[in-house]
A and B are shown apart, each in its own frame.
Chain A
């Protein structure tokens, strides 16, 4: 797994768009690739897939529990199944099917949570998935991934397709600029990707928060001559403990940033590892707090909770001040 890609293939599209394009390429080569949808092919940008490969798409209707159960059955009979539905419904409504029929039974379904986090902004809490990392971290035998940019998305889909085990991949519908790949141009599940080096602190993002984390790091350098390391921790489980231990070793502050509840996600996963291995770095979890989520677009929600260039930079300045 994890072929090194020497050029960034795609950039500046929504990760969703890259997902659907990648899946079309895979389906062309492998007729066992099957997509299962729950009235979600439009939201999953799978309209063209359905037209090109009508024999490789199964429409279930609005029934997410059924979607995951059927996907498990198809996978058990040898199909390479991508079950595609909004992350909010997929991981809440169908959680028991994911836990029992996919993870526990080890049916190699690739669960694709589309429009994840607060991508559906103003549609409100029913349509947000701020719990998916937390619940799936607590389910054994499933890899949990949030690709940051188009490159990571393309790699994640292509590599997951070859695995015989369950995966959950989530992404949003916002256009994602390509992250710098000059330090690390590889993608391997369970291995964080270093986007930027820095000697003063470390910012660990996942999914669509890596970009603002990188922007914040650039700003910190320009405005304050502060060098922040930035990591795309695309795999939430299994977490890259080796990399965590490495960045924690110098005692620098660590900030985690995620489009998820501050409970149970990337931040708490990192904190749990660090504390249990006696790393006592200054540490801050940025995410969506445990409250009635403010209403607005994804951008407005990000800005409101500081998951933005300036919000992350401010948090960095604060945590550095605390340190000294």
Chain B
């Protein structure tokens, strides 16, 4: 897909994220909007995975560590044909499998996540299995920036480098916000790149909303042979909706009727402007 086609797709994804969060009156709005362009490029450009090969042991794996942004994942999985989009009308309803975090009851979901700091260790294990079995599949995981202080991430980072897992890519959705405030104020993790480099990872920065740059960067994996790769994706929480961008309260804020209408209008205008 061309960057322009991807851009158009992302607008549709954003509409759906907002539609289903609005319908469920629950969800993680800001972080879903900050990572959706990354998921878009992963699923429509990079990953060798879809409904047809999801059972294949050779498929690429995507494990979403920042599980709270499940709406972004569900919307993309629906678009890929893993399940009918209308299923998402049951989001967070009684007895629905479409709950507020990824679960394997939903077709296309690799791992049950939601407690932060689990995606990287599981991804390390999955990537290690590929090496043991001499398989070519790759493993991708998406972390929040506020998630980084969980010690399990750093333990897994050591293991990944130790076993030279160049089939593993971690992407940090670096939107600089978490629940309480700016990530740099809550627990400063800077400089993330130097920390991971000193742990033995190859690190690149990208603009997490620039489709061309995301495509090119992902095409160059692994960045260094025998090293796990880290992509620090600079993003904006709430991206695409003027009044949500970089605003703390939209972490799990749900738009009201008028806000929802405005958001959809802004996205319609974005289509026209493409």
Q: B151 — which chain A residues lie within 8 A by C-beta?
A: 63, 65-66
Hey, which chain B residues are within 8 Å of A92, CB to CB? 115
- CB of A199 within 8 Å of the partner chain: no
Collect the chain B residues with CB atoms within 8 Å of residue A126's CB. 67, 101, 112-115
Contact residues in B for A294 (Cβ distance below 8 Å): 94-95
Query: Are B95 and A124 touching (Cβ within 8 A)?
Result: no
- Over the window 70-94 of chain A, the binary record of Cβ atoms lying under 8 Å from chain B Cβ atoms (1 yes, 0 no) is 0000000000000000001100110
* Cα separation A262 to B17 with both chains bound (whole Å): 37
Which chain A residues numbered 48 to 72 have a C-beta less than 8 Å away from chain B?
59-66
Q: Does A268 contact B (CB under 8 A)?
A: no
Query: Any chain B CB within 8 A of the CB of A295?
Result: yes
The answer to whether A42 and B96 touch across the interface, beta carbons within 8 angstroms, is no
Q: Interface segment, B7-15, B120-128, B178-186?
A: B178-186
- Chain B residues, Cβ within 8 Å of A123: 68, 99-101, 114
Cβ of B195 < 8 Å from any Cβ of A? Answer: no
Task: Say whether B228 faces chain A, with CB atoms less than 8 Å apart.
Answer: no
Q: Is the interface on chain B under 10, 10 to 19, 20 to 34, or 35 or more residues?
A: 20 to 34
Judge whether A284 is part of the interface by a CB distance below 8 angstroms: no
CA–CA, A10 and B106, complex, Å? 43
Q: Using a CB-CB cutoff of 8 Å, which residues 81-129 of chain B contact chain A?
A: 92-97, 99-101, 103, 112-117
Q: Is the interface of B mostly helix, strand, loop or mixed?
A: loop
- Does any Cβ of B come within 8 Å of A125's Cβ? yes
A124 partner, pick from B93, B103, B116, beta carbons under 8 A: B103
Interface residues of A (CB under 8 A from B): 37, 39-43, 59-66, 88-89, 92-93, 120, 122-127, 294-297, 300, 304
Give chain B nearest CB distance to A180 CB in angstroms. 31
**Contact, CB under 8 Å: A124 / B100:** yes
**Which B152-189 residues sit within 8 Å CB-CB of chain A?**
178-180, 186-187
Using known A-B contacts A124-B103, A126-B101, determine if residue A295 contacts B149 with beta carbons closer than 8 Å.
no
Q: Shortest beta-carbon distance, B107 to chain A, in Å?
A: 16
B93 near A296 (CB under 8 angstroms)? yes
Q: Is B225's CB within 8 Å of the partner chain A?
A: no
With A39-B146, A42-B179, A42-B180 as known contacts, state yes or no: A59 contacts B187, CB within 8 Å.
Answer: yes
Residue from B94, B101, B148 within 8 A of A297 (CB atoms): B94
A297 to B26, CA, bound (A): 11
Residues on the A chain within 8 Å of B187, using CB: 59-63
**With a CB–CB cut-off of 8 A, which chain A residues contact B95?**
294-296
Contact indicator A122/B99 (Cβ below 8 Å):
yes
Given A42-B180, A89-B115, A296-B93, is A122 in contact with B26 using a C-beta cutoff of 8 Å? yes
- Sort A-B residue pairs by CB-CB distance and give the 7 closest, nearest first: A61-B187, A126-B114, A296-B94, A61-B149, A122-B92, A123-B100, A63-B149
Question: Are B101 and A124 in touch, CB under 8 angstroms?
Answer: yes
CB distance from A297 to the nearest CB of B (A): 7
Residues of B within 8 A of A (CB): 24, 26, 67-68, 92-97, 99-101, 103, 112-117, 146-151, 178-180, 186-187
Q: How far apart are B117's CB and chain A's nearest CB, in angstroms?
A: 7
- Taking a contact as CB atoms under 8 Å apart, the answer to whether B67 and A63 are in contact is no
Q: Is the CB of B178 within 8 A of A62?
A: yes
In the complex, what's the smallest C-beta–C-beta distance from A57 to chain B, in angstroms? 10
Is A122 a contact partner of B115 (Cβ separation < 8 A)?
no
Complex-state Cα separation, A61 to B92, whole angstroms: 27
The residue in B67, B112, B116, B178 that gathers the most chain A C-beta atoms within 10 A of its C-beta is: B116
B63 → chain A, closest Cβ, in Å?
14
Question: Are B99 and A295 closer than 8 Å at their CB atoms?
Answer: yes
Residues of chain B lying within 8 A (CB to CB) of residue A297 = 94
Of B92, B100, B180, the most chain A CB neighbours within 10 A belong to B180
Tell me if B186 and A63 are in contact (CB < 8 A): no
Sampled A-B contacts (22; CB under 8 Å): A39-B178, A39-B180, A41-B180, A59-B180, A62-B146, A62-B148, A63-B149, A63-B150, A63-B151, A63-B187, A66-B149, A93-B117, A122-B92, A122-B100, A123-B101, A123-B114, A127-B100, A127-B101, A127-B115, A295-B92, A297-B94, A300-B94
In the complex formed, the residue of B with least CB distance to A37 is B180
Contacts of A120 in B (CB 8 A): 100
Most A CB atoms within 10 A — which of B93, B149, B179? Answer: B149
